Chain A
Amino acid sequence: MAETQTAPEVMTTADGIPLKVSLRRALRRQRILSFLLVAPLLLFIVASFIIPIFEMTMRGVENPQVVNIMPRTVEALQSWDGKDIPDEPVFAALVADLQAGRKSKQIGKVATRLNYEQRGMRSVIMGSARSASRLKEGPYKAAMIKIKKEWGQTRTWALIKRESAPYTLSYLLAAVDAGYDENGDIARVDEKQQIYVPLFERTIWMSITITAICVFLGYPVAYLLANLPLRTSNLLMILVLLPFWTSLLVRTTTWIALLQTQGVLNDLLVWLHIIDNEGRLQMIFNKTGTIVAMTHILLPFMILPLYSVMKTVPPSYMRAARSLGANPLVAFWRVYVPQTVTGIGAGSILVFILSIGYFITPALVGGQSGQLISNLIAYHMQKSLNWGLAGALGFLLLVLVLVLYAIYNRLIGVDKMKMG
C-alpha cells in the first residue's frame, strides 16, 4: 500500500487499492462465480455417471474373489515354487478356507470365478467344500486329493496362484479371444471358438456399411435441401426431422411390420408377381434387417450436418468453375465436394459412433447374424452374469468410441454440434 502512495503513476480505485489488484480480485470473483454455476451439475455428472462408468470398466480387471475368500491359501501359496504338489500346510489352509467359505456362503463366487478360467473348476471347488466341511483333523493332503483328484495336479494350484492377484488380465484377454494355456502363457483361442474378435469385426464392418449407405443417401438429399429456395426446403426438411423426432422403438417396429415374411413389402412383391408366395424373402431378423433399420434411424444424423455445411458453400464457385470450362461432373467433384468434406466427416463420425454402440435395434430385428457387440455386453450383464467380461468388453468399446469422439472433436468441436 505504501508503495502506491509514493508512486502516483499507479492508478488506484477510490479506496486506494491499485487498479491491477482490484481487477484481479474482480476477475477471481467472476471465475469463482462461473465455477459455482457449473459445480452442481459437474458434481452430479461425475458422481452419477463418470465414476459408475469407471467402476464398471474396472470390473474388467478386478479380481477380488480368490484373494478375499481364500486368504489363507493365498498366503500359504506364496512360497510355493510351482513345480511339485504343495505340502501339507497349504492343504490345511485350503481346508480352512473352504470350511469358512462354505459357512459364509461365499465359496460359490470362487467356484464361478475359477470356472471361467478352467471348465470343471466349479464342481471341484463346490464338491471339495462340501466334503472338506466333514474333515475334522489332518493330514489333509491325502484326504483332499482323494476327494478331488484335481488337487493332485500342479495346474490347479498354478491357476489358484495366478488368480490370487487382486487384478487380472484374464477378462480383457477373454474379450479379445485369448487366454492362458496350460503352462500359464498367453495364447489365442482356437480359430473356430473365437467369439469376440469376429463380433468386434462384424460390428465395425456393419457400422462402416451403415455409414457408407448414409453418405450415399444423405448427400443428394442434403444437396437438394441446401440449394432449393428456403420455403420449399423448409417443407422438405420436415421429412427429415419427423423421423429424427420419432421414437426409436416406433421406427424399429415399422421395419418389422414392413419387412417380415408376412409383412407389407413381401405382400407387395407377391402381388406384383415378382416373387411367388412360397419364395417370400427373409429380410428381417438377420444382418439385412439390422442394416436397413439402422440406416433409416441414423440417416438424419448424416443429413443435418451435411446440410449445415452445404449451406455455407457459395454457389458462385460452381458457376465460376462452369464458366471456366469445367463440365458439370468435374465442377461438382473438384470444386463442390472438397468444400463439403468437413460435413461428410462430421456426419460419418457421428453415424459411426452411434451405430457402433447400438443395442435396441439389433436386439429386435437382428436375429442371430445381426447382433452387435452391445448385445453381447447386455447378455453378459443380464444372462450369464459374467460382469467382469462385460466390463472388459465395455472397456474396449468405450476406448473405440472415445478415440472416434476425440477425432470428431478435433475436426468439428462439440460446441458446434447442431441439433434440430
Chain B
Amino acid sequence: MASIPPYAGTLERAWYYGYRLICALIFLFLIGPILVIIPLSFNAEPYFTFTSEMLSFDPAGYSLRWYEDFFTSESWMSSIKNSFLIGIASTLLATVLGTLAALGLSRPQMPFRALIMSILISPMIVPLIISAAGMFFFYSKVNLAQTYLGVILAHTALGIPFVVITVTATLSGFDHSLTRAAASLGAPPSYVFFKVVLPLVTPGVVSGALFAFITSFDEVVVVIFLSGVEQRTIPLQMWAGIREQISPTILAVATLLVAISIVLLTVLELLRRRGARLRGITETV
C-alpha cells in the first residue's frame, strides 16, 4: 500500500495511481469548499464569485471591506459577545455536571448504568428540531424563553452527551488500583480525586468541554426557537443573513470561524497526544 512494488504490472500501476487520484478528488470535495471562501471573503465587489481582477491578482480586486463591515457592525459585535457568553457558560455547566456523572457512571457499582447512559445521551440522538420545539414549550412555561439563562440551559443539555461520552471513554482506560493505592497510603477521598483522578482524566474533560463549546457555538435551531432579540448569536445572525439578503460579510465571518475551528482542532490534537503519552502509548511513526 505504502509504495508500489517494482514487479507491479501495468494494470496494477494504473490502479495504484487511479485510486490515489480518486482519493485526492474526495479530499478536494471535503476541503475545497472551505478553502474557496477564504479568498472570496477578500473580494472588493459584493459578489460570491471570483472577479476578473481577483483572478489576475490585481490588488484592486481585493479588499478588507467585508471585514470592516463585520467589525464595525453593532449587531455582529453583540452576536460575538452573545455566542461566547452562552458558549462558555453552557460549557462550564455541561463540563462540571457531565464529568461528575461520568465519574459515577464508570464506577463498577453504578446501578441501571445502560438506562441512565441512554437518557444522558438522548440530546445527541433526538433530532434538533424536536428538541428545539420541546424546549420552546418548556422554557416558555417556566418564563425562561428569550432569556440568556434559558438559552444557556438549553445548550447545556445539548453539550452534555459529548462530555459524558469523552470522559467515560477516558475513564474506561483508567486504572482503579491507582485510587486504591492512594487511599491505602492514607489520602482522603477529596485528595485522591484532585491529585490522582483529575490529572489523569483532564485530557478527556478538556476535549469533552471543547465538543460542548463547539456544539453551543455552532448551534442555531434551538436559538431560533428560544432566543429573543437580545440573545442573537453568530450562527443565528448568519442564518438570518443567508435567508434575508446574503452579503459577503457572511464570507468574512465564515473565514474567521474556519480560523477558530483550526485553533480548536490543533488544541484537540495536542490533547490527544498528551493523553496517549500519559497512558504510556508511544506513537509508532
Contacts and interface: CB of A to CB of B under 8 A. Distances in A.
B165 to A, nearest CB: 6
Interface string A354-370: 00111110001000000
A79 interface: no
A242 B261 CA distance: 7
A207 B16 CA distance: 32
Given A35-B111, A55-B134, A257-B48, A50 B122 contact: yes
Contacts of B12: 328
B138 A34 contact: no
A296 B36 CA distance: 14
A50 to B, nearest CB: 6
A108 B220 CA distance: 33
Contact of B97 (A40, A248, A254): A40
B111 A409 contact: no
A364 B242 contact: yes
A412 interface: no
Interface in A45-64: 45-46, 48-57, 59
A420 B272 contact: yes
Nearest to A240: B30
A254 B34 contact: yes
Contact of B137 (A41, A55, A315): A55
Contacts of A390: 133
A38 B221 CA distance: 28
A231 B285 CA distance: 6
Q: Which of B125, B127, B272 has the most CB of A within 10 A?
A: B127
A42 B101 contact: yes
A248 B133 CA distance: 20
A30 B107 CA distance: 9
Contact of B49 (A33, A48, A238, A263): A263
B49 A227 contact: no
Contacts of B125: 353, 401-402, 405
A252 interface: yes
Given A221-B23, A239-B31, A267-B49, A40 B257 contact: no
A253 B238 contact: yes
Interface stretch (B65-73, B74-82, B166-174): B166-174
Contacts of A236: 27
Contacts of B122: 45, 49-50
A257 B251 contact: yes
A49 B117 contact: no
A165 B57 CA distance: 72
A44 B123 CA distance: 12
Interface in B122-152: 122-123, 125-131, 133-138
Contacts of B239: 249, 360, 364
A245 B268 CA distance: 11
A274 B122 CA distance: 48
B109 A245 contact: no
B153 interface: yes
Interface residues of B, number: 94
Contact of A378 (B129, B135, B235, B238): B129
A228 B2 contact: yes
A257 B122 CA distance: 35
Given A45-B122, A249-B235, A36 B104 contact: yes
A364 B202 CA distance: 39
A250 to B, nearest CB: 4
A281 to B, nearest CB: 14
Contacts of A44: 97, 156-157, 160
A220 B22 contact: yes
B138 A417 contact: no
A27 B118 CA distance: 24
A241 B27 CA distance: 11
Contacts of B264: 245
A53 B134 contact: yes
Nearest to A56: B134
Nearest to B285: A231
A262 B130 contact: no
Given A38-B101, A52-B134, A381-B225, A258 B36 contact: yes
A398 B134 CA distance: 12
Contacts of A405: 125
Given A249-B238, A254-B34, A357 B128 contact: yes
Interface string B1-26: 11000000000100100011011001
Q: Which of B2, B104, B120 has the most CB of A within 10 A?
A: B104
A296 B34 CA distance: 11
A25 to B, nearest CB: 12
A388 to B, nearest CB: 12
B36 A217 contact: no
Nearest to B262: A242
A221 B25 CA distance: 10
A31 interface: yes
12 contacts: A33-B104, A35-B111, A42-B120, A230-B284, A245-B261, A245-B265, A249-B220, A250-B257, A253-B250, A256-B242, A360-B220, A414-B121
Given A256-B242, A381-B225, A420-B268, 6 more contacts: A31-B109, A48-B135, A49-B135, A228-B1, A248-B235, A360-B220
Q: Please name the 6 residue pairs, one residue from A and one from B, whose CB atoms are nearest each other, closest first.
A: A357-B127, A37-B104, A52-B138, A52-B134, A56-B134, A38-B104
Interface of B: 1-2, 12, 15, 19-20, 22-23, 26-27, 29-31, 33-34, 36-37, 40, 47-50, 97-98, 100-101, 103-105, 107, 109-111, 116-123, 125-131, 133-138, 153-154, 156-157, 160, 162, 164-166, 168-169, 172, 207, 211, 214, 217-218, 220-221, 225, 235, 238-239, 242-243, 246, 250-251, 254, 257-258, 261-262, 264-265, 268, 272, 283-285
Interface of A: 27, 30-31, 33-38, 40-42, 44-46, 48-57, 59, 217, 220-221, 224, 227-231, 236, 238-243, 245-258, 260, 262-264, 267, 296, 299-300, 315, 328, 353, 356-360, 364, 374, 377-378, 381-382, 387, 390-391, 394, 397-398, 401-402, 405, 409, 414-415, 417-420
